[in-house]
Amino acid sequence: MNPTATTDIRLSAVRGEIVHFIADPAHDAHALEHFADGLLIVRDGHVAECGPAAELLAKLPAGTPVADHRGKLILPGFVDTHVHYPQTDIIASHGEQLLEWLEKYTFPAERRFADPAHAAEVAAFFCDQLLKNGTTTAAAFATVHPASVDALFTAAQRRRMRLITGKVLMDRNCPDFLRDTAASGYAESKALIERWHGRDRLLYAVTPRFAPTSTPAQMRLAGRLFAEHPGVFLQSHLAENRGEVDWVAQLHPEARSYLDVYERCGQLGMRAVYAHCIWLDDTDRRRMADTGTAISFCPTSNLFLGSGLFDLRRARELGVRVGLGTDVGAGTSFSMLQTMNEAYKVLQLAGQSLSAASAFHLATLGGAHSLYLDDRIGNFAAGKEADFVVLDPRATPLLARRSAACATLDERLFVLMMLGDDRAVAATHVLGRPAWPRAPAA
Ligand code: GUN
Ligand code: ZN
């Protein structure tokens, strides 16, 4: 026995059925790595090694704690590439399409974030919902209020999550109580970038809500913020709803397309992420691919608001980076499993068949790749941040019954994404430590 190794308190391990991706299953038949009885060894919050338990246990220093999750699946933490934390309280609001829904439900809900105490309370609940659902990284909208950004970064920092957020920029076509100006939006965003970007696992996103709610002056300043701060993200919405697309065409007769409005203002590029992207043409898709701009596919939201059916096959054929987003509160679930479920159905309607492997890849390594974070998260390669989720295929009587009848791993993954939700998440770990369920108070 090696006496120094036994006292290495930075070392721990988890044992279970491990599934992760080392490439994109759409392009590589060996992309999915599977250890039926696997071990994930964590050192100092990062992956030290991942492989068959029999092999790795033999060389694990004696005394290393091993959490036993045999009978359950261990996957990388989910990556939600588009979500709105201030819309937590309006999830499942009935009866409108995008533009009416924004006026009737969204703007009044976002108004309440002028109160920092409200923002702090919702931010804590929101982060707990993410963790309860196995999501360890998210790109989230805040509101126009800078304090709403402080509240979310603070809540995520306490939980050690990887979180991208930013102050919404909105200086026209919105209620006065949510309106900034081109100059104030620029100055407040800059101050927030200086305060938060790169602190622990927190990253800033310049966040123009969408083209209709920013003047050309504000759009140009958003592009300038993005260019002036290398490493910062930019997030917005694009071509979600037909009425919205018509409105943008009226507002910007000079532009070739909705995407072109953003491109003219310097808002495309690596780390720019656009939600929805339903009503695009191939020129748009090629520009997105050529500039490294990513799409967040938000199926539950697209169905809920009746926005349309996203064409995943075409986006991928043309080489656009794509991740999955819940888009709560237009999205109807914080669960990435339920988001995969609805992605499958949306694609069925378009004659495209999403495999379980592709769905789980989108929710993990694919999402990380779309955000240019795949060097840090998304799978269990050595050195990655050790965020993982433990999924229980017997979490409900129906899941247990259906899972028992599965012959292959592929079938079991498909059943989990179709029938699973937060009940299937037995545990979520962030940087190797349990983050959900919470340890009982001492
Ligand atoms: N477009 C502009 N703002 C929003 C929003 O808050 N949600 C969705 N789904 N689309 C938007
Ligand atoms: Zn959105």
Q: What is the pLDDT of residues 383-433, one digit of tens each?
A: 999 999 999 999 999 999 999 999 999 999 999 999 999 999 999 999 999
**pLDDT value, residue 113:** 98
Q: What is the pLDDT of residues 284-298, one digit of tens each?
A: 999 999 999 999 999
Pocket test for ligand 1, best of 83, 91, 98, 278 (most atoms within 8 A of CB): 98
Q: Which ligand 1 atom is the nearest neighbour of the CA of 106? A: 6
- Ligand 1 in reach of 82 Cβ (< 6 A): no
Residue 125 alpha carbon to ligand 1 centre in Å: 21
Q: Which ligand 1 atom is the nearest neighbour of the CA of 210? A: 2
Mean pLDDT (whole number) for 30-36: 98
- Go through the chain and tell me how many residues it has: 442
Mean pLDDT (whole number) for 24-29: 95
- The answer to whether 280 touches 259, Cβ cutoff 8 Å, is yes
Mean pLDDT (whole number) for 127-137: 98
Residue closest by Cα to atom 1 of ligand 1: 237
Question: Does the pLDDT at position 14 exceed 70?
Answer: yes
Q: Which residues of 377-397 are buried (b: 16+ CB within 10 A; e: fewer)?
A: bbbbeeebbbbbbbbbbebbe
**pLDDT value, residue 438:** 79
**pLDDT value, residue 440:** 66
Residue closest by Cα to atom 9 of ligand 1: 330
For each of the domains in the chain, give its residue range(s) and CATH number, in order of start.
11-76+384-436 (2.30.40.10), 78-354 (3.20.20.140)
Question: Does the pLDDT at position 97 exceed 80?
Answer: yes
- Reported confidence tier of residue 4, pLDDT bands at 50, 70, 90: very low
Residue closest by Cα to atom 7 of ligand 1: 330
Residue closest by Cα to atom 11 of ligand 1: 237
Q: Which ligand 1 atom is the nearest neighbour of the CA of 298? A: 9
Task: Give CA angle at 256 (251, 261), nearest 5°.
Answer: 55
Q: What is the pLDDT of residues 231-281, one digit of tens each?
A: 999 999 999 999 999 999 999 999 999 999 999 999 999 999 999 999 999
Residue 167 alpha carbon to ligand 1 centre in Å: 14
**Ligand lying closest to the C-alpha of residue 144:** 1
**pLDDT value, residue 7:** 55
- Reported confidence tier of residue 96, pLDDT bands at 50, 70, 90: confident
- Reported confidence tier of residue 5, pLDDT bands at 50, 70, 90: very low
- Ligand 1 in reach of 210 Cβ (< 6 A): yes
- Ligand 1 in reach of 301 Cβ (< 6 A): yes
For residue 122 the two structure tokens come to: 């919702």
- The answer to whether 312 touches 354, Cβ cutoff 8 Å, is yes
**pLDDT value, residue 442:** 59
Q: How far is CA 25 from the centre of its chain?
A: 19
Rounded percentage of the chain residues whose pLDDT exceeds 70: 98
- The answer to whether 276 touches 256, Cβ cutoff 8 Å, is no
For residue 366, the 8-state DSSP code is I
Residue closest by Cα to atom 8 of ligand 1: 330
- Ligand 1 in reach of 98 Cβ (< 6 A): yes
Closest CA to 374 of 271, 289, 287: 271
Question: Does the pLDDT at position 138 exceed 70?
Answer: yes
Q: How far is Cα 189 from Cα 166, in angstroms, rounded to an integer?
A: 7
Pocket test for ligand 1, best of 165, 210, 326 (most atoms within 8 A of CB): 210
Q: What is the pLDDT of residues 368-379, one digit of tens each?
A: 999 999 999 999
- Give Rg (Cα) of the chain: 21
